[in-house]
Every structure is written in structure tokens, then in C-alpha cells.
Amino acid sequence: MAGDLPLAARLAFAMGHFLNDLCASMWFTYLLVYYHSVLAINNHNAGLLLLVGQLADGFCTPIIGLESDRAPGCGRYGRRKSWHLVGSISVLLSFPFIFNPPVGSGKDTPQWAELVYFVPFIVIFQFGWAATQISHLALIPELVADNHQRVELTAFRNAFTVVANITVFGIAWLLFHFQAKYSSNPDDDSLGKQDIPLFRSLALIVIGIGSVSSFMFHIGTREKLRNEDEHIATEQTSLISDSKKGSGQPLLQWKHWLKEASFYHVAFIYMCTRLIINLSQTYIAMYVTYTLKLPKNYIAMIPLVMYISGFLSSFLMKPVNRYFGRNQSGAFVYGSMSFTDKVANGLGVIIIQSLHPCKTESCCAQCAPFYHLVMAVVTGAVACAALISLGAARIWPIKIRNHHDTGLIGSSSTTEESTNSCDYGAIN
């Protein structure tokens, strides 16, 4: 396996998920507000489209993970980069259609026809997103040898995620700014059909920037072929971090994780944290528009401020990680948490949309208190559940029990070395 990667190679690798990060930022922040406030799709149908996307992503993630381990790749291109290429092409071809009105549609087009039109593009996009994400993550242990280098590559990857979010919100703010500057129509302060070109431009800019970053990834990243590194453990067998190898502890299989109470404990904590993040990001634009009644350029400005402040506060997580523990987990654990996250977010949105007081295409006076309740009560309740469950981890530590019946050596020691806590920060 290769030694330290040069800086250029690390940057090229980090660019490999930039397209996904750009699209994800736009998907969660602007999908509902675009379909409901711009295309005038009713609340339930807009939530249904988001649910379809989350379910497609959730089901594609474990399937692609298994297939990317089995498939040999396209010739000598490498199995991970082959899947990454397929995923990137799928995203590039489908994403612009998600933020564009159906071709040939008009004011008399029934909404069921619009749903039928959007669903295939959303499924293709989510398939491509999952293929890119899984293959990019799976490349990390194949590019570098030790945990320190893997953490460094993950840090580069996360840094580009921050840049992607700031890029999307910054470009959106500029587009709204120039639209307001050159418009004399007072109705342009509110979202409507006149904003279709703006969101189309934002989607095309995202695709343009993302395609360049993906191209740089494929040019600058060299994946070692499977026959060059037979000793590389696959995602299916390396279910515990390398630090456990050589310690006399056999590896856990996926069926053993299902018998662990801590597995479900961590899944619940992770699901809650992702619900808080994604629900607040999904509904912030609606809250700004219909509750605060601010000009539409604030749906770019406020998420930008929120993301920057959230990024700065993440530096406070180091002492939290030391207190609760932070160890690597495996592919099955990652895939399970990811599946739970995506399905829970989709179901959460569709439930909220089903409870919406406005059943028509346009919002009424009841929208203002409704979105206030979503942002304050729903996310607050989920946050309380997460804090209670996290606090319970101090009473019932998250660790692997003894596996005498399966021949696996568990850990009953209270020391940090013998406690296998799932990595809260690595599963995202």
C-alpha cells in the first residue's frame, strides 16, 4: 500500500465528493420551497417527492456498498472509481431536471403528471449520489495505510463539504441580489413562477462546478487494482477498526451487530442528530418566507450564516468526543446508520407535510405558526430525545458485550482501549 499521499493527491481525492455536497446542500435547503412556492405544488406532494428521494437513497446505499465490493471495475480503471464515475454521470444528467419545470408543462398540467415526471429523475439522482458517496468513502483505506492518514483524508473531505455549502448559499444570495437589483416589479420580493430561471441557473452552476471537481478527482486519484493489493480488507470483512487487528479479537460479522443493544442505541442517537440537522435545513427557507415574512434573498443569507456558525462551533466537539469516546466503526454499521438516517428524514418530512394546515397550492395565514412549530417544537423535541439518549450512554456505556457463544471476544473492561464505541462524527 502506498505511503503518504502528496498534497495534490489529497486535494484531488477531496474533490471527489464536492459534486455530492453541492447537490445535497441545494436538495435539503431548496427542494420544498422550490416545489411549493415556485412551482405551486401542494405541500403533501412536495413532501412526497422528498420522501421518494430519501427512500431511494436509503435503499441504494447498502446495495451499492455490496456491489462495489464484488464488482471488479471497468477494465483497469478500478472498482471504486468505476462506481464513482457511474454515480457522477447519473447525478450530472438528472439533477438539472429536478430544479426545472416539467418539459411541456403549463398551468393546466395536473399535479399527478408533474409527480410522475419528477420521480424518475429523483431516483436516478439519489442512485448516483449513493454510488458516489459509497465509492468515495471506500477509497480512503485503499489510498492510505494507517489511521492517522485516513483521518487526514477525511478532514480534507469534510473541509470541501464546508466549502460546498458556503458556495451554494453564496451563489444563491448573489443570484437573488442581482435579480432584485435589475427588477422593477415589487412582487419580485416574494417567491413565485418568476424565480424558475433563478433556481435553474443555480442548479446549472452547481452542476458546472461539480463536474469540474469530479474531473479533477478522476485525473488526480489513482486507485490500486485489486490484484495489486490482495491484502486490503474489503468493507464486508473489515467491520472493526485496524487497531483491533492483532489484539487477539476476532472480527464481528454483520449478524453479531444485530444482537448488540449498543448498536440500536447509537442508531437512535445518530438518527436524532441527523433529523435535527436535516429538518432544520429543509424548513428554514419556509420559516423565513412564511413565518418571518422576510424578502426571498434571506433564504440564502440565513442558511449561510447558520452553516458558518455551525462549522465554527464544531471545533468545540473535540472535548465532547474525548468524554463520550470516538472509535472507528465498520461498513455494516455505517450503512445501517445511513439507511436509518435517510428513511427517518423522509418519513419525518412527509408526516410534517401531511399535518400542514394548507391543503392548496398557496399558503394561508396558518402557515406562519405552523412553520414556527416545526422549527421550534419538532426539532426541539428531537433534540431532547437525543440528549436523553446521549446521557444514558454514561449510565449504560456503549460497548460490545461478551460473545462467548459465538467465539468472539467481547470487552467488559471499563478502559477506553477495550470499549468499542461507534464513531458519531464519521458517519455522515
pLDDT tens-digit profile of 34-77?
A: 999 899 898 889 999 999 999 998 888 878 877 776 766 676 77
* Distance of alpha carbon 131 from alpha carbon 93, whole angstroms: 14
The per-residue pLDDT of the chain, averaged, comes to 79
Asked if residue 344 lies in contact with residue 271, where contact means CB atoms within 8 angstroms, the answer is yes
- CA quadruple 238, 239, 240, 241: dihedral sign: positive
**DSSP class of 251:** P
Q: Which is nearest to 16 in space by CA: 215, 158, 208, 207?
A: 215
- Give me the torsion for CA of 352, 358, 362, 368, rounded to 10°: -70
* Torsion-angle region of 104 (φ positive above 0: left; ψ -120 to 50: alpha; else: beta): left
pLDDT tens-digit profile of 377-428?
A: 999 999 999 899 888 877 877 676 655 444 433 333 333 333 333 333 333 4
* Mean pLDDT of all residues in 246-258: 56
Bridge partners, 364 (sequence order)? none
* Mean pLDDT of all residues in 102-110: 84
* Mean pLDDT of all residues in 216-238: 62
* CA angle 361–284–192, rounded 5-degree value: 35
* Distance of alpha carbon 143 from alpha carbon 12, whole angstroms: 12
* Distance of alpha carbon 409 from alpha carbon 95, whole angstroms: 47
Task: Check residue 230 and give its pLDDT.
Answer: 46
* Distance of alpha carbon 123 from alpha carbon 94, whole angstroms: 9
Task: Check residue 334 and give its pLDDT.
Answer: 66
Task: Check residue 223 and give its pLDDT.
Answer: 80
pLDDT tens-digit profile of 297-314?
A: 899 999 888 888 877 766
Q: Is the pLDDT of residue 134 over 50?
A: yes
* Mean pLDDT of all residues in 175-187: 78
Q: Is the pLDDT of residue 201 over 70?
A: yes
Any idea which of 78-82, 334-338, 340-344, 422-426 has the lowest mean pLDDT? 422-426
Say which amino acid occupies 241: S
Q: What percent of the chain clears pLDDT 70, i.e. is strictly above it? A: 75
pLDDT tens-digit profile of 347-387?
A: 999 999 888 887 666 666 778 889 999 999 999 999 999 89
* Distance of alpha carbon 320 from alpha carbon 177, whole angstroms: 40
Q: Which is nearest to 30 in space by CA: 368, 338, 383, 304?
A: 304
Task: Check residue 252 and give its pLDDT.
Answer: 58
